C-alpha cells in the first residue's frame, strides 16, 4: 500500500507533541498468537490530531492539497465511477465477516493499472494466480499472461470495495456500512485516532467479478481486461492504513478484554489509560458497541532498524478496523441496526451522565478518566456543526435511511436531503454536548 503524504506525516510525528512514546515489543518470524499480548500491552491508540481544512476533510486523508492532480488516483468522491480488476480474497478467509465486499486492482479509464504510487503501469493481458500466504490461505497475485513461470508479480495498486445488494434504494439495511463506515472513519481521523481511509463512489465497475462475488465465494478471475464489468452502485472504497499488521499465525486481532485487563492491573501506563478512555468516549459518539476481536487490528507504525528475528516494533498500535456497525443501536434480536436514524436518535454516550458512566463500556470500567474527557473535549473543538454536517454529506447520510427520507418527504420538507443531514447532525452535536457536560469522571 502506498505511503501517502498524510500517512507519512503521521508516521514522522506520531510520538510528537502531546503523545507519549510507546514501549517496544518483539515480533519473531514464527510468532504464535499468545506472543502478541506484549504488543497489545505496549500499544498506543492516539495519534497527533491533524489540522484539516474543510477541503481536506471533505476529500479525505489521501488527498494531497500540495499536489491534487497526482493524488487524484488515491482518493475518491461520491461522483466517481471507479474501475478495477477482481482479486480473489475473501472466499479463502477462515472468518470473512458478513459485509458485502471484494478486493481488486485499481484501473484507470483506459483499463490500465496504477503502481502503488499512482504511476501508470504498461502491461499486456494479465492473469490471476492463487498463492498461499503464511497462514496457508490462498490469495490472488497478478501476472502478465505471457509470464508462464509466474516470475514477475505485478505490484499494482489495490483497493477494497464494499457494495450493496440489492442496489440502492432497495438494499438490505444490514449493509448500510457503505455509508456509516465513511462517516465514522472520517470523524476518527479528524479527532486524531487511527482509522482506515474510506471513500464514497457512485459506481465500482469490476472486471472479472460476478454479480455478487462475496456471497458467491468467488474464487477466480479469468477475465480479459476489456471484458464487460459487473457494476456496483453506491459503493465504498477503502485504503488501509500503511502500517504493517502484527499477525502471528495470520491473526492480526486484539481483544478489548485483554486491553481492559492491562488497564485494570496496572500494566498500562497512565498515558495509555487516558488514550484508552478517550477512545471509548469517541466511539460512543456514533454508538459503536461491536467489541469483538475480529473487528480490531494490531499494527506496527515503526520498526527498529537492523532488528531481523525477532523484529522489534517500537510503535505498536491498536485500532478498531471495522467501524461499520455504528449510527444505530445495540440489538439483542438479530443484526445490530446500522445507519438507522430512528434507532440512533435515542442513543446516548452515557447511561448516567451525572456519574460519568458509559452506556457501552467495551469491556472496560464504567467511568472514564477525567483526563480522557478533557483530552477529547479539546480535540472535539475541531468538529463544529458545519464540519460534522459536511462529513455526513460526504458519507451520503441524506440517502442512507429510506424510512427517514420517506418520513421527511411525507411531512412536506422543502429540501429532504438537507433536512436529513440536519437531523443526523443535531443528534451528533448532542453527543458532543454530553461529553462536555458529563460530571464526576474518574479523577
Spatial separation of the C-alpha atoms in residues 312 and 20, rounded to whole Å: 18
Is the CB of residue 331 less than 8 Å from the CB of residue 342? Answer: no
Encode the chain (443 residues) as per-residue pLDDT tens digits.
333 434 433 333 333 334 445 589 999 999 999 999 999 999 999 999 999 999 999 999 999 999 999 999 999 999 999 999 999 999 998 888 889 999 999 999 999 999 999 999 999 999 999 988 777 789 899 999 999 999 999 999 999 999 999 989 999 998 999 999 999 999 999 999 999 999 999 999 999 999 999 999 999 999 999 999 999 999 999 999 999 999 999 899 999 999 999 999 999 999 999 999 999 999 999 999 888 999 999 999 999 999 999 999 999 999 999 999 999 998 766 668 899 999 999 999 999 999 999 999 999 999 999 999 999 999 999 999 999 999 999 999 999 999 999 999 999 999 999 999 999 999 999 999 999 999 999 99
Query: What pairs with residue 113 in β-bridges?
Result: 107, 121
Q: What is the pLDDT, as a whole number, of residue 16? A: 36
pLDDT score for 98: 87
What ranges do the domains of the chain cover? 5-437
Q: Is-cis flag, bond preceding 163, omega within 30?
A: no
Report CA 328 to chain centroid distance, whole Å.
17
List of residues 6+ apart from 156 with CB closer than 8 A: 105, 106, 113, 114, 115, 116, 121, 142
Distance in angstroms (rounded) separating the CA atoms of residues 69 and 372: 39
Cell of 51: 489540522
pLDDT of residue 347: 96
Cell of 303: 520498526
DSSP type of residue 369:
B
* pTM, two decimal places: 0.93
pLDDT at position 334 is 60
Amino acid at each position: 500500500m502506498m505511503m501517502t503524504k498524510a500517512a507519512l506525516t503521521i508516521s514522522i510525528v506520531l510520538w510528537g507533541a502531546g503523545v507519549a512514546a510507546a514501549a517496544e515489543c518483539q515480533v519473531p518470524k514464527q510468532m504464535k498468537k499468545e506472543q502478541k499480548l506484549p504488543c497489545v500491552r505496549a500499544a498506543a491508540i492516539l495519534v497527533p490530531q491533524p489540522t484539516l481544512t474543510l477541503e481536506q476533510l471533505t476529500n479525505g486523508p489521501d488527498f494531497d492539497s500540495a499536489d491534487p492532480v497526482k493524488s487524484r488516483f488515491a482518493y475518491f468522491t461520491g461522483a466517481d465511477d471507479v474501475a478495477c480488476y477482481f482479486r480473489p480474497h475473501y472466499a479463502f478467509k477462515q472468518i470473512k465477516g458478513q459485509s458485502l465486499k471484494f478486493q481488486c486492482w485499481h484501473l484507470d479509464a483506459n483499463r490500465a493499472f496504477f503502481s502503488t504510487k499512482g504511476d501508470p503501469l504498461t502491461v499486456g493481458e494479465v492473469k490471476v494466480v492463487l498463492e498461499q500466504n503464511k497462514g496457508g490461505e490462498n490469495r490472488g497475485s497478478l501476472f502478465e499472461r505471457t509470464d508462464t513461470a509466474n516470475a514477475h508479480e505485478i505490484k499494482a495498486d489495490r483497493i477494497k470495495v464494499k457494495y450493496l445488494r440489492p442496489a440502492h434504494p432497495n438494499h438490505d439495511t444490514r449493509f448500510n456500512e457503505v455509508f456509516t463506515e465513511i462517516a465514522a472513519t472520517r470523524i476518527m481521523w479528524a479527532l486524531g485516532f487511527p482509522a482506515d481511509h474510506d471513500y464514497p463512489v457512485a459506481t465500482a465497475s469490476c472486471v472479472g467479478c460476478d454479480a455478487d462475488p462475496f456471497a458467491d465465494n468467488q474464487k477466480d478471475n479469468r477475465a480479459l481486461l476489456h471484458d464487460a464489468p459487473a457494476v456496483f452502485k453506491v459503493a465504498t472504497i477503502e485504503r488501509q492504513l500503511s502500517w504493517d499488521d502484527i499477525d502471528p499465525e495470520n491473526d492480526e486481532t486484539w481483544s478489548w478484554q485483554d486491553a481492559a485487563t492491562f488497564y485494570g492491573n496496572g500494566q498500562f501506563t497512565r498515558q495509555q489509560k487516558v488514550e484508552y478512555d478517550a477512545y471509548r468516549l469517541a466511539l460512543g459518539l456514533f454508538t459503536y458497541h461491536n467489541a469483538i476481536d475480529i473487528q480490531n487490528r494490531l499494527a506496527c507504525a515503526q520498526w527498529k532498524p537492523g532488528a531481523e528475528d525477532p523484529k522489534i516494533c517500537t510503535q505498536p498500535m491498536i485500532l478498531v478496523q471495522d467501524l461499520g456497525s455504528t449510527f444505530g443501536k445495540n440489538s439483542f434480536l438479530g443484526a445490530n441496526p446500522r445507519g438507522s436514524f430512528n434507532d440512533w436518535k435515542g442513543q446516548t454516550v452515557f447511561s448516567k451522565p451525572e456519574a460519568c458512566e458509559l452506556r457501552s463500556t467495551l469491556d472496560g470500567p464504567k467511568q472514564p478518566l477525567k483526563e480522557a474527557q478533557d483530552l477529547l473535549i479539546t480535540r472535539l473543538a475541531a468538529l463544529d456543526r458545519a464540519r460534522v454536517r459536511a462529513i455526513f454529506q460526504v458519507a451520503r447520510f441524506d440517502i442512507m435511511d429510506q424510512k427517514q427520507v420517506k418520513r421527511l418527504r411525507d411531512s412536506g420538507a422543502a429540501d429532504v436531503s438537507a433536512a436529513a443531514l440536519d437531523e443526523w447532525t443535531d443528534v451528533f452535536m448532542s453527543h458532543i454536548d454530553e461529553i462536555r457536560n458529563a460530571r464526576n469522571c474518574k479523577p
